[in-house]
Amino acid sequence: MRYKHYKNANVDVSEFALGTWGLDDSRWNGHGGISEALEAMKALIDQGVNLIDTAANYGNGTSEKVVGELLKSVDRSKILISTKFGTQNDLFTGGVYRDARFGTVMRECAGSLKNMKTDYIDFYFMHWPDVSTPIAETMCALNFLKEQGKIRYIGLSNTELPLLKEALKYGQVDVIQPPFSMIDQRYKETMEWASEHGIDVMAYGSMGGGILTGKYRSIPNWPAHDVRYTFYKGFSEPAFSK
C-alpha cells in the first residue's frame, strides 16, 4: 500500500480508502449484507488500508454502526476514521436538508461517537455547506470539539474556495474533501489553492462512483431511487456514452 503524508494532521494516509456510502440501503442497491461488508473491510485493512470514510446520514447512522462493528476487531489506534455532519435525511418527505449550527454539530458528533463506539473521530467534515448558518458558527463548534479531544482534525467537504477562505478566518482547516476524477474536475482550482496553503486534500469519487472501473458497459438497471443515477453524472446520458 502507498501512503500520503498529511502535513497539518501529520499522519500517513493510505492512498486507497474504504468508503461506506454503499451500505446505505435507502439510496444504494446491490451490497451483499453486513457480514459480507465486514469481511471485505477487514480484507482491505489487512492489505494496508488505514482510512475509513463514512457519514452520519449514510443510512441514518447504519454505515457508522457497521464501522463500529469493524472497530471491535481491529487496532483502533492504527485506523483513521473520517465522518461527516450537517446533512440530514428528512424521513417524512424523503428529502435531504443541511444544518451546520453549533448545537447540531455537537449533537451529531455525540451520535457518531456512539454509533462507532469510539472516543474520538480523526477527520470530522462539514458534509455540505449550510447557507443558512455562518461558517464562523460552524468553525466555533469544530474548534470546541477539537479542544475537547473528540475530533482530531477539521475538514470541509464539497466546499468552494470562497467559503474555504472565509472558514480560515476562524481556525485551522486541516483537510478538504472535494469530488475529483477524470470526469469531474470542478474543484481543481480549490484543490490547488489548498495544497499551496498547506491544506491537505482527501478526494472522493475518484472512480466516478464505479463508472471508471470498466465494470459497466451499459447503463445499470438499478431501482429508480438509486442515488448513483443522479449523484454520479456518468451513469446517465449523454455522459455515459461519452
Q: Where in the sequence numbering do the catalytic residues fall? A: 58
If one counts every other C-beta atom within 10 angstroms of the C-beta of residue 189, the result is: 11
CA separation for the pair 58, 61 (Å, rounded): 6
DSSP state of 141: H
User: What residues have CB less than 8 Å from 171, skipping those under 6 apart?
Assistant: 139, 142, 143, 154
Determine which helix (DSSP H) or strand (DSSP E) holds 139, and give its type and residue range: helix 135-148
DSSP state of 18: E
DSSP state of 181: B
Relative orientation angle of helices 62-71 and 102-116, to the nearest 10 degrees? 50
Residue 7 phi, psi dihedral angles, 5° rounding: -70, -55
Residue 133, all three cell numbers? 448558518
Residue 209, all three cell numbers? 462512483
If one counts every other C-beta atom within 10 angstroms of the C-beta of residue 200, the result is: 22
178, 201 Cβ separation under 8 angstroms: yes
CA separation for the pair 61, 140 (Å, rounded): 24
Cis peptide before 238 (omega within 30 of 0): yes
DSSP state of 48: T
